[in-house]
Structures are given as C-alpha cells and as structure tokens.
Structure 1
Amino acid sequence: MKKLALLGALIVGLSLPSVAQKDKKASDVLDAMSAKYKALNSYKAAFTYTGDGSNYKGDLTVKKNAFRLKLAGQEVFTDGKTMSTYIKETNEVNVQDYDGGAAGDFNPTKIYSIYKQGYNYKYIGEQKQGGQPVDVVELTPEKKNTQIVKVQIAVTKKDNQVKGWKLTDKTGKVTSYTIDKFTPNVAVADNYFVFDKMKYPGVEVVDLR
C-alpha cells in the first residue's frame, strides 16, 4: 500500500500545475515550460523520488494521449482508453476504463497544458539544482482542505525543462521528485502503453470495468 501511495503521489504531483491569479513572472515561466512540452511528440523522463527517508527510481514515458509510469515495483499503462496498474509484489494487475478528461482524473499526458484554473501561484526565485540555474514557482490550491497544500516546481532557465518538484501535504510531509534524465521525441511503439499479460506469467487480472 505504501508503494501504491508513492505512485499516486507522483501522479498527483504531475497533475498539479493548474494555476490562477496574476503573478506574471510565474506565468511566464509556466507558459514557456508548457510550450516546450506541447511541441513534443513524445518524451521519456527518468526520475528519483525522495520521501520518508527513502529513495526510489522511476520513469515516465508519454506519447500523445498514452503514458506508461514505473515506480517502486509498480507500473501504470494507459493507451488513452484503458488503464492497467500492475503490482509486482502480488503479480496482480487492475484494469479499468480511463477517461483523461474526467473531473478528478489524473492525466500525465496533459500536465503541461491545464494550468488555467484551480491554483494560485507565485514566483519564488532563481536557485541552482544539479548545478543548473532554475526558476522556482510555488502553487497553492484555491480549494480548502486539499491533501496537497503546496507544490514548488523548478524549471531550467536554459531550456524551460522541468528539473523537479516538491510537494507538501496537509500534515507537513514533504516529498520531492528530481528529473535525472530527459529524452524528447523518443521512438516508442503504441503497444508499449498496453499491458500484455503474456509477458507476466501467472498474473492475476482484476477487471474493474
């Protein structure tokens, strides 16, 4: 369950750049970042999760409306229609319908273009992360009593790439994700985003559709 929570937290973090209010500097940073990612046909990002005294390596691959996410012994596959969540520890996969436009649904394929409503934001300043100068923007949700109360996103000044983000929840717990390697326009087949049970011998399929 802890690992599943980590995976969910990552997707929450990826989905958070929805902003409002009128901090022009922050808006300029996010607009430039959004334009960069929207221009890509696909990309792959290797990252490190840090929290609760633990580190986990993971990666995310996105192509149009499809994505595949790996973290802490779990994988999420979606081709834009069906989502399959595979849990290695139990050799089980949960299959459900996926609607990326549904309210409350998490959609990593649109994370850089949905920042028009729902969050306040402000420009924190310039920092260095991994030896690179970055602009840091802080987002806070307009709604009260949300699980995540603050997100800081670091965007490289050189090429408007997301370098990492830090999430603070309502208990004060802080988790962070750092992009270790980013590869734009990767060549990846469409079936990479579809769970193939033949490649997971003995897997138990739980169909929730």
Structure 2
Amino acid sequence: MMRRITALMAFLLSMNTLLFAQYDPKALGILDAMSAKYKSIPSFSAKFTYTLQNEMEGVNEDFKGEVAVKGDKYRIKMSGQEIMNDGATSWTYLADINEVTIDNYDPNSGDMTPSKIFTAYKKGYKYLYLQDKTEAGQVYEMVDLVPEDKNQQFFRIRMQIHKKDRTLKSWEIYDKVGNIYRYAISDFNPNQALNDAYFRFDTAKYPGVEVIDLR
C-alpha cells in the first residue's frame, strides 16, 4: 500500500512539472552554459552509474560503466556489453555470446545518446529551472526538460548541472510506464586523446565473433 501511495505522489509531482513546463529563460541560460562547456572539449571519458527504478514493479537495479565521447561519436562499456557509434554506424557487442549487431545510426531519432544529451534541449523541448541543490558541499542546478511531442515514450528528463564548472553530474529519464533511468557521472576526464577508430568495432580484436548486420 505504501509503495502505491509513493508512486502516486511521484506521478502527481511529475504532472505538476508537465503543467508548468515552459521556455524558462533561467533554465535556458543554465543549459546554454553547459552545452558551451562540452562544445569546448574535443573529447572526454568518464565513469558512470546506471540505475533503473520502477516502484510499482519493485525494480531497483544498478550497473557501473564507462563512456567516451568525441563530437557525435561515443563508446559505452557496461555489464558485458559494448556500444560503439561513429556517427553513421552503431555496433552493439554482447560478450557472453560473442555477438555483434550492426545497424545504421539515425541522428534524428528520439534516442537520448551520450553525444546528444548536452544539446537535446535546443529542439523539441520545453525547459524549467527547479532549484539549486547542495550535495557534499557542491551546488548543482536542477533543470527539467519536457518533450513537446506528447507521443514520446518518456515525459521528462531531469538534469543536475554543477553550478560552478557547468559539467553535467547526472540526468534522469522518466517514462510513461513508471521507469526511471538515472545516469550519474564520476571520474570525468576532459580532452582525452581518442582517435576515430576507437568508436568503430574491429572484428579482428574479437576472434570468432558472430556478426548480425541489419544495415
């Protein structure tokens, strides 16, 4: 019973955000500063924690991973899986079955990738500044993004942005079936020397790999 009440309260709070979401100039200033910060960094790597929660279903899972980003290219390592994207093609490799799936990458898709999270607000979203939040002596600005397209699977992205250096500490994606996907960044390393080949799958490095090409 308590779980249902908590879930209901969370839903009502989320509806409050949807009702008041707007093109908030304060939120825009915060997001522009964050975007400019990352635009000035040619490439970076970081560690992250990924959490999936769904109170109604009793789901609470978390995984640790690593991410590297260079422009519109990215590479993610997490829980026996690697995702590589060179801006045109994506590869998803599953270590336990030694299999890679190859597909074309559509930059105009609604997927929130590591290379798009810093600029997503510029098109198709309303944005709202919520509050400043202090954690471990650091001040973060909380901003909500709400998609203009009501048919999107998710209805809110909540971003936590460091007030001083404008780096993105975490973001949460809320979908319509009660899932909350949270990504928390740690060990951020700017200006990593990453060549373009790092973001492509090299079959020679994975002997016996099964290739599923969907292009």
**Per-residue deviation, 1:151:** 1.4
Q: 1:192 maps to what in 2?
A: 198
Please give the per-residue CA displacement for 1:61-116, whole angstroms capped at 9, x wherever unaligned.
1113321112222111122232111112221101122243x344655334323422
1:50 equivalent in alignment to 2:51: yes
User: 1:176 and 1:115, CA in 2 relative to 1: closer, same or farther beyond 3 A?
Assistant: same
Runs of 4+ in structure 1 displaced over 3 angstroms? 102-108
The more displaced of 71-80 and 133-142 is: 71-80
- 1:43 and 1:203, CA in 2 relative to 1: closer, same or farther beyond 3 A? same
Tell me the amino acid that sits aligned with residue 117 of structure 1. Answer: K
- Which structure 2 residues correspond to residues 154-165 of structure 1 after superposition, within 5 A? 154-165=160-171
Residues of 1 paired with 2:207 and 2:147: CA distance? 43
Gapped runs of 5+ residues in structure 2?
A: 1-20, 53-58
Could you tell me which amino acid in structure 2 is paired with residue 25 of structure 1? K
Does residue 134 (structure 1) correspond to residue 135 (structure 2)? The answer is: no
% same residue: 47
* RMSD over equivalenced CA pairs, Å: 1.9
Aligned residue in 2 for 1:9: none
Which residue of structure 2 aligns with residue 88 of structure 1?
Answer: 95
Q: 1:200 to 1:98 in 2, by over 3 A?
A: same
Q: For the Cα contact (< 8 Å) 1:38–1:113, is it kept in 2?
A: no
| Cα separation, 1, equivalents of 2:179 and 2:29 | 29
Q: Matched residues in 2 for 1:93 and 1:189: separation? A: 21
The one-letter amino acid paired with 1:91 is: N
Relative to 1, partners in 2 of residues 1:140 and 1:104: Cα closer, same or farther, differing over 3 Å?
closer
1:120-148 residue CA offsets vs partner (Å, 9 max, x unmatched): 11111001235421000011111224221
Map of 1:8 onto structure 2: none
Matches within 5 A, 1:25-36: 25-36=26-37
Q: Output the TM-score relative to the length of structure 2.
A: 0.80
- Alignment match, 2:5: none
Match 2:158 to one of 152, 167, 179: 152
Deviation at 1:168, TM superposition (A): 1.5
Query: Counterparts of 2:88 and 2:179 in 1: how far apart (Å)?
Result: 33
Note if contact 1:141-1:149 (Cα within 8 Å) is conserved in structure 2.
Answer: yes
Matches within 5 A, 1:2-151: 21-51=22-52, 52-100=59-107, 102-104=108-110, 107-151=113-157
- Computing the radius of gyration over CA atoms, which structure comes out larger, 1 or 2? 2
- Residues in 2 aligned to 1:30 and 1:49: alpha-carbon distance in whole angstroms: 22
Comparing 192-201 with 148-157, greater Cα deviation is found at 192-201
Contact 1:99 1:105 in 2 (8 A): no
User: Measured at CA, do residues 148 and 94 of structure 1 come closer, stay the same or move farther in structure 2, by a change above 3 Å?
Assistant: same
8 Å CA contact retained: 2:121, 2:145: no
- Between the two proteins, the alignment pairs up a number of residues equal to 189
Kept after mapping to 1: 8 A contact 2:91/2:100? yes
